[in-house]
Amino acid sequence: MRRFIIALQFLTVFRVKRDIEVTREDLAASMSCFPLVGAVQGTLLVIASYLLSALLPGNVVAGVAILILALTNGGLHLDGFADTVDGLAGGKTEEERLRIMRDSSTGAIGVAFVALLILLKYLALSGMPLEAQRPALFMFPVMGRWAMVPMARWSRYARNDEGLGAAFAGNTNAGLIAATAMGAVLLALAMGIISLLIMLLLGAAVYGFSVFFRKKLGGVTGDVFGFQSEVAEVLFLILVLALTRILETRQFI
C-alpha cells in the first residue's frame, strides 16, 4: 500500500497522505505500482464517460476524458513531453539538448507538438465505437504509466546531478516484472487476450525510444519519462483503433 500511495502522489494531483516520508529507494520501488495508478485514472475516465454519454455525443466525451486525465496528472507528463521535444529540436549536442530541456519555458515547437499529441488522442478515441472506447479509456492511462517502467530499467540517467529522474533510471528487474504482470492482467481483463499483442508492440516501441535517447541524450531524464508516457498513450490508442477496425472488417469476410 505504501508503494501505491507514493506512486499515486508522485504521478497525480491526489494527496492521500501528506506527511509521508519518501526516499529515493521508495520512489524507485513505487514504479511497480505505476500501472495501478493508471487504473485509478482510467476508472475516473470510464465513470465520466458513463455520466456524460447520456447528454453528450461520443466525440465530446472523448475530449472531456483527455482533459480530465491531463488535470489529474497536473500537466506533469505533457510538460515533460514539450520539454523533450524542445530539446531534441533545438540542440545539436547532448549538452545543448539537456540544457534546453531544463529551461522552464516552453518553445513554439513544444507547444505545437503538444497540440498535435492531444489531437491524435482525441481523433483515436472519437473514432472508436462506444464498446471499444470505454475499455480504451480505462487502459490508455495504464499503458502510459507502465511504459515508463521498462524505459527506466533499460536506461541510465543522462545528467551528472541527482535530479528526480535519477531515482527511477536503472530500476530493478523485479519492479519491471511486477508492473508488466499487473499491466498485462488489466489489459487482458479489459480488452481480451488478443490485446496483449498491443502491449508487446508498445514494449518494442519503448525499447526503441530507450536506444534513441541513449544516442541523443546519453540516457533519460524526468522529462523523457513524461515524453514516453504521453507517446505510449497515443500509440496505444492508435493500435486499439487499428485492431478494432481489423476485427470489424473480418466480421464481414
> Could you read off the pLDDT of 196-227 as tens digits, one per residue?
999 999 999 999 999 999 999 999 998 999 99
pLDDT of residue 162: 65
Q: Which residues of the chain have pLDDT under 50?
A: 252-253
pLDDT for the residue numbered 180:
96
CA 243 from chain center: how many Å?
20
Tell me the sheet residues that pair with 157: 220
pLDDT of residue 251: 56
pTM of the shown model = 0.91
Q: What would the pLDDT profile of 168-182 be if each residue is shown by its tens digit?
A: 776 778 889 999 999
Strands (E), the chain: none
- Which residues are CB-neighbours of 28 under 8 A, at least 6 positions away? 167, 168, 171, 172, 175
pLDDT confidence of residue 164: 64
- Tracing cell 475530449 back to the chain, one arrives at 63
Integer Cα distance of 223 and 195 in angstroms: 28
Q: What is the pLDDT of residue 253?
A: 41
pLDDT of 252: 44
Identify the pLDDT of residue 111: 94
What the block records as the C-alpha cell of 175 is 519492479
**Confidence (pLDDT) at 194:** 86
Domains of the chain, by residue range, sit at 2-250
